[in-house]
Every structure is written in structure tokens, then in C-alpha cells.
Chain A
Amino acid sequence: AQKITQTQPGMFVQEKEAVTLDCTYDTSDPSYGLFWYKQPSSGEMIFLIYQGSYDQQNATEGRYSLNFQKARKSANLVISASQLGDSAMYFCAMREGRNTGGFKTIFGAGTRLFVKA
């Protein structure tokens, strides 16, 4: 069963505006971590932000913030003041705590973000 769902295959945003990329997840493990990665056309995976299931506050990292709604099992990424360099593929990912394989991480299908000048 798919555990990470990203329903937006593509998103457009005007430069300097904010954009929200959706992510919902499914797990029965009370301990888990949620991640967002950026993948530009070069293919490298760039870590953006992390949210732990027990964290009381939403994570923020510069222009990135994570809107964590635990009851709804959603972990949306908000990018403020979009820049042209933000155009890339964005992946939501989850790591479950009970996994004994060194905390393997699974990824959603991704959302391609296009920033318009």
C-alpha cells in the first residue's frame, strides 16, 4: 500500500509568491519522521526539512516550512518568496521508527514545481 501520497504532479507559482506542496502519509507507527527533498534536473537529492512525529512545533528552515497536521496525516511543504532556482522536483518522504533496516526512507511520487518570472 502506498504510504506517501503527493497528489500534485505539477505546480506553477509566480516568482516571489508562496506555494504549498501537498503530502499525506499513512503509518501505524507512532514514531516516524517526515522529510522533504528537492531534486533539480541534475538529479542530486537535496535535503530541505525534517519533521518528527513527536515534534510539537512545525519545522522551519529558511524559506521552507512544514505544515504538519498529525491528525490529518499531512505534511505540506510551504515555500515562501519563490525563486526561479526553486524550479525542481520535490519529494515528500517518510522514515518509520519500528523499521529495523536502519530506518529506510520511502518516497512519494513527487511534485514538479515551475516558478514563473
Chain B
Amino acid sequence: GAVVSQHPSRVICKSGTSVKIECRSLDFQATTMFWYRQFPKQSLMLMATSNEGSKATYEQGVEKDKFLINHASLTLSTLTVTSAHPEDSSFYICSAPRGGRAMTDTQYFGPGTRLTVL
């Protein structure tokens, strides 16, 4: 079946540094990918929609300069947390719908990246 991978699975960094998280669709092309963040014991909150060949669409309240998204190819989207601070510590999950536009397209999730900012 389709697989979406994320790298790294876990990262610990110092406050003020930038962290890049990769999301790859391994056996299908994804013109659209989604980035979510999940705080402990909470739900997934959509951060942004990553669009191949165009700018990402950010949800209300998400700082686009803080969370840089680049959809470099049809199989790769990256999320860069710039100047990370402890409050950015969270579980970041990407997803990609296979097909992209149909309501029934199965949305495949990556395994998530746990970011801890010291």
C-alpha cells in the first residue's frame, strides 16, 4: 500500500535553531500535502496545506515566517521550524491524499516527528 515517510522521527534541538522536517510520499505522487501538529493528549491541528509548484496555504493563526513550507517535488514537502522555541515542541505529522482531489481519496499519514526544543 501507499506509504508516507517522515524524517527525522525525533529531533531535539536548542532554542533559537531551525529544524527541517521532511515528508515523502514513497510510491505515489502528491500535489498536495498537509502538515499537522499535535500537542500531548490533544487532537491534530491543521497548520498548512503544501502545494507543489505554488505557495503553501496556512491556517489562521499559523505564522508563515515561523513555519516555512516548501513543496519541492511531487513526492517531497518540507516543514522548517525557524528559530525554534520550547513552545514549538510538539508532534508534527504530515499527510498526503493519494489522487488529491476526490473526496474518497485515502489520506495517508506519515509516522510523525517529535520535536523537542530545549
Contact = CB atoms under 8 A, between A and B. Distances in A.
B48 to A, nearest CB: 9
Q: Is the interface of B mostly helix, strand, loop or mixed?
A: strand
A52 B95 CA distance: 20
A103 B46 contact: no
Interface stretch (A17-25, A78-86, A105-113): A105-113
Interface stretch (B14-22, B61-69, B80-88, B99-107): B99-107
B103 A95 contact: yes
Contacts of B44: 45, 91, 107
Contacts of B112: 43-44
Counting chain B residues whose Cβ lies within 8 A of the other chain, the interface size class is: 20 to 34
Given A45-B44, A103-B97, A103-B100, 17 more contacts: A32-B103, A33-B103, A37-B109, A43-B112, A43-B114, A44-B112, A45-B109, A95-B103, A101-B32, A101-B49, A102-B34, A103-B103, A103-B105, A104-B46, A104-B49, A105-B46, A105-B95
10 contacts: A42-B111, A43-B114, A45-B44, A52-B104, A91-B44, A101-B32, A102-B32, A104-B34, A104-B46, A110-B43
